[in-house]
Amino acid sequence: MDSEHDLLILLKQGDEKAFNSIYKKYVGQVYNFCKLYIINNDEIEEVVQDVFVRLWESRYTIREDDNFKGLLFIITRNLVFNETRKSFNHDFYTVSLIDSIENMGEDNYSYNTEQDLEAKDLSIFIDKLISELPPQRQRIFNLSRKEQKSYREIAEIMNLSEKTVEHQISDALKYLRKHMALFCVFQTIAY
């Protein structure tokens, strides 16, 4: 199998097989990211399709030595937020920001310096908010968001009921939403 670097070089040359390989490798991640923000399955599929259309259309500008996941995240994020801006919802936007930062990881923010700084600032802010949660709630939230454990898995790990886990995550998200409202409004205006 070709390395990602090789696939990107071929993609820049218009190679459809390389595009299909990249699509197969990342479509699940793009879909799951969109699912965090968009409820309607048809809209999710439309945004996923648009992400890869945009990728194909901009293939000549891709820098194969840069962080491809970062680029894909930026394209997806922008299309998702354009879609959700039509019916802006603070809860949805806040959870999206939190999940996107935690799921992408710091190494995926090097594609654009301004966006890199913005993402790192947000990540620091979110980490600070998470550290202010009560210890049990903090651990449950981190198991869910950072380690992507299911409610059932968390309940087993922590010897709690699934309802307790669900309640703790709900309370954590309420806390984060409350403290991120102004940040979210600022971010929406910036886009």
pLDDT confidence of residue 80? 81
Q: How confident is the model at residue 99 (pLDDT cuts 50, 70, 90)?
A: low
Percent of the chain with pLDDT strictly greater than 70: 70
State the amino acid at position 94 in one-letter form: T
pLDDT greater at residue 138 or residue 189: 138
What totals of helices (H) and strands (E) does the chain contain, helices first? Answer: 9, 0
pLDDT confidence of residue 172: 85
Output phi, psi for 111, to 5 deg. Answer: -70, -35
Contacts of 91 (CB under 8 A, 6+ apart): 173, 177
Best mean pLDDT range from 26-30, 171-175, 187-191: 26-30
> Which of 7-11, 97-101, 153-157 ranks highest by mean pLDDT?
153-157
Averaged confidence pLDDT in the chain:
76
Answer whether 108's CB lies under 8 Å from 67's CB.
Answer: yes
User: Residue holding tokens 């913005």?
Assistant: 118
Distances (CA, A) of 53 to 47, 57, 61, 63: 10, 6, 14, 17
User: pLDDT for 41-92, tens place per residue?
Assistant: 888 888 999 999 999 988 888 887 777 888 888 888 888 877 765 544 444 5
Cα–Cα distance, 11 to 97 (Å, whole number): 29
